[in-house]
Amino acid sequence: MVRGGAALLRRYGNFIDDLRLYVRGGTGGMGYPRLGGEGGRGGDVWFIAQERSTLKSIKARYPQKRFVAGAGANSSVKALKGEKGKDCEVHVPPGISVLDDDGKKLGELNRAGERFLAARGGLGGSLVTNFLPCKGQRRIVHLDLKLIADVGLVGFPNAGKSSLLSKISQAKPEIASYAFTTIQPELGKIMYEDFKQILVADLPGLIEGAHMNKGRGHKFLKHVERTKQLLLVVDISGFQLSNKTKFRTAFETVLLLTKELELYNEELLTKPALLAINKMDLPCAKDNLNELMKQLQNPEGFFHLLEEEVIPGNTLDFRDIIPISTYTGEGIEELKACVRRSLDEEAEQQNEAYRKKKLLKASIPR
């Protein structure tokens, strides 16, 4: 059963992954008709990706959530060409998509230092405008954060994702024996002996119907989109959210997770995927594992035994299936090695594809 629901929902407010802002470019400066002087253009509003920035810090520092650039200087006898207004620069975390109020994507900022023009300043007064200044662009925008990580942990509540993250990294997520201990994304780094680092995101547990936004499913699933690969974490003994929901075997759990990903965004199934089968320290775990491995070798052969609501349109082809126990530490080192090998293989394939593309481009006569 899920306990402490109200407190958990209050705590979710500590993490912000969507912020609505008002932005307005500066008004241009007045022209000088008698001498043909041109007013300065209004300043622009820029979003700049910066490490360590958070949407929470933006909201705390600017509670009004209004960003207005400076007005351009008026033309004068001393300065016929007015100076441009001061730009307004807003530092945002990498991984931001900028949306308009209708949800249309305007741009995105994925790396530190990238810039996005949120609102352009108005033109200064000139002969074209009868020396009257123009107002700056104004609009409402949404900053939509999707975490950028190498690996995304995906699973139902209480599968052991938080425990796994604490075992493979220095992260200290909340761990308890009830569902929904992870109510906001957690990040951790796997550190290897040769100083290689892999960033892992522990995403809050999904529930059936997450693709329809049940249990804030969209809020969590969107973070999977920018991870390089998926690591599904499944309880070998199965899963049951509460006494009012159906018990799901480990095999059904794998299929349901696949279906939720597919229904939210079928492109997610094209990502490289690994499967960690957790809680191998429990009684009957080995027998359950043998049964699960048979089912995963030929999933379609068992579909006739399942309810239609469990069956996805496509299945994930796991690169590795690793039995683990976050309690005893069984399989943890093997899992870390598999994660690295999978990422290295994917990077090599991308590099090879890039080299072939460059060679093909170079071979085409101009």
Where do the H-state alpha helices sit in 55-160?
A: 55-61
Contact 86, 42 (CB under 8 A): no
Mean pLDDT of the region 216-231: 76
The one-letter code for the residue type at 165 is L
Mean pLDDT of the region 300-309: 91
Mean pLDDT of the region 180-205: 77
Arithmetic mean of pLDDT over the chain:
86
Q: What is the rounded distance in angstroms from the CA atom of residue 140 to the CA atom of residue 6? A: 31
Angle at 341 between CA 337 and CA 345, to 5 degrees: 175
Q: Is the pTM of the predicted complex or chain greater than 0.85?
A: no
Q: What is the rounded distance in angstroms from the CA atom of residue 341 to the CA atom of residue 196? A: 12
Region of poorest pLDDT, from 11-15, 93-97, 301-305: 11-15
pLDDT at 366: 64
Question: Which has more confidence, 246 or 366?
Answer: 246
How do residues 240-263 score in pLDDT, each as one tens digit?
Answer: 877 888 899 999 999 999 998 998
In percent, the amount of the chain with pLDDT more than 70 equals: 87
Cα-Cα-Cα-Cα torsion 241, 244, 246, 247, nearest 10 degrees, comes to 50
User: Which pLDDT band, with edges at 50, 70 and 90, does 179 fall under?
Assistant: very low
178 DSSP assignment: S
Q: Which two tokens stand for residue 130?
A: 């009868």
Exposure b/e, 315-325, CB count within 10 A at least 16 = b = bbebbbbbbbb
How do residues 13-40 score in pLDDT, each as one tens digit?
Answer: 456 778 999 999 999 999 999 999 999 9
User: Which pLDDT band, with edges at 50, 70 and 90, does 210 fall under?
Assistant: very low
pLDDT at 170 over 90: no
Which among 196, 191, 264, 181 is positioned nearest to 230, based on CA atoms? 264
Q: Which two tokens stand for residue 54?
A: 């958070």
Contact 230, 288 (CB under 8 A): no
Which long-range contacts link 289-295 to residues 24+ away (Cβ below 8 Å)?
A: 289/236, 289/323, 291/251, 292/236, 292/250, 292/251, 293/321, 295/251
